[in-house]
Amino acid sequence: MQVIECSEPQLDVLAVLFNDYRIFYGYQDDLPACRDFLEENLRLRRSSMFLLTDDGGNAVAFAQCYPATCSLSMRPYQYLSDLYVIRSARQQGHGRYLMQYLRDHFSARGAQRITLDTATTNTTAQRLYEALGYEREQVYITYHQVLDAPGQP
* Nearest one of 112, 57, 109 to 79, comparing CA atoms: 112
pLDDT of the residue at 147? 80
- Predicted confidence (pLDDT) per residue in 110-132, tens digit: 899 998 988 888 888 888 899 98
Closest of 118, 112, 97 to residue 50, by C-alpha: 97
Residue 106: partners with Cβ closer than 8 Å, 6 or more residues away: 65, 78, 114
- The pTM score is 0.86
CA-based angle 33:144:115, to the nearest 5?
75
